[in-house]
């Protein structure tokens, strides 16, 4: 199992100016960095690859799905832009020798409405069509795509692991896996360990987040139950801490981070990975 840290813990948007984080992340005890991609133009890709290699870090790509990157939008231009963004994330993964792109690929974060059944069906059909098309691109590139359920305050489409599985079955492409985030699952699932077992062999990515997005191990998430469930399904994929810096205005609004969640972001990451390693190894 690889223990990872998402760049959102420290910065938004991530770019070349932030590459100095990578040796710090390695020194804290992480094996992998999850790069949150908001603006491709800010990232010197060859230099990022070299910096990752120099620090012995693996990499995963985390998608950032704002309102203009919604493959289920009723606006065809927005759907096209969302599809292009996912394809570009796949291309970035390939350039960095990564095999994973993950996140709420199916819709824009913050899209929460009560709409008619007909509208829901149209949006789902657009989503499924686009996921099938980008799935072929990902498969050709050797990249897995993770479908992340979000809580009800951030999406009205996929809130539960069983809904993610149903979408994957409808898309019917082997490149798709389930991405569980314990912050969202803590709100939506009756039991996070049970949800892990339901995902089973389809579980391809995992965000290990405390109930308040603070340091893992300091809240009320059932980490022992999670450990046991992961062992039951023989999960051996990435195990990534995702939190957000309160200093980034757009992220603060999107994730409702209004206060510091730890004495420092470094402490959140360092203490969190220490707790998770002791739990799982």
Residues catalogued as catalytic? 148, 242
**Tokens 């062999």 sit on residue:** 201
Q: How far apart are CA 215 and CA 28, in angstroms?
A: 14
φ, ψ for residue 32, nearest 5 deg: -145, 145
On the CB side of 70, CA atoms within 13 Å amount to 20
Among candidate residues 249, 240, 248, the one with its CA nearest the CA of residue 269: 240
């Amino acid at each position: 199992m690889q223990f990872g840290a998402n760049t959102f813990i420290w910065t938004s948007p991530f770019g070349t100016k932030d590459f100095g984080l990578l040796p710090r992340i390695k020194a804290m005890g992480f094996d992998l960095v999850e790069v949150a991609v908001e603006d491709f133009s800010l990232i010197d890709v060859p230099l990022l690859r070299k910096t990752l290699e120099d620090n012995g870090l693996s990499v995963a790509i985390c998608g950032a799905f704002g309102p203009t990157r919604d493959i289920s939008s009723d606006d065809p231009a927005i759907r096209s832009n969302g599809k292009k963004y996912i394809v570009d994330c796949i291309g970035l993964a390939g350039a960095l020798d990564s095999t994973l792109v993950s996140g709420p690929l199916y819709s824009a974060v913050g899209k929460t409405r009560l709409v008619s059944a007909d509208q829901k069906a149209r949006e789902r059909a657009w989503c499924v069509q686009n996921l099938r098309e980008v799935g072929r691109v990902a498969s050709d590139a050797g990249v897995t795509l993770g479908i992340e359920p979000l809580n009800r305050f951030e999406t009205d489409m996929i809130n539960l692991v069983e809904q993610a599985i149903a979408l994957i079955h409808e898309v019917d492409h082997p490149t798709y896996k389930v991405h569980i985030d314990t912050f969202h699952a803590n709100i939506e699932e009756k039991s996070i360990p049970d949800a892990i077992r339901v995902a089973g062999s389809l579980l391809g990515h995992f965000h290990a987040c405390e109930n308040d997005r603070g340091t893992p191990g300091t809240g009320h998430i059932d980490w022992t139950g999670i450990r046991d469930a992961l062992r039951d399904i023989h999960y051996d994929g990435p195990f990534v801490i995702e939190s957000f810096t309160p200093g980034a205005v757009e992220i603060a609004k999107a994730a409702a981070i209004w206060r510091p969640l730890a004495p420092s972001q470094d402490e959140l990451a360092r203490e969190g990975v220490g707790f998770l390693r002791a739990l799982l190894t």
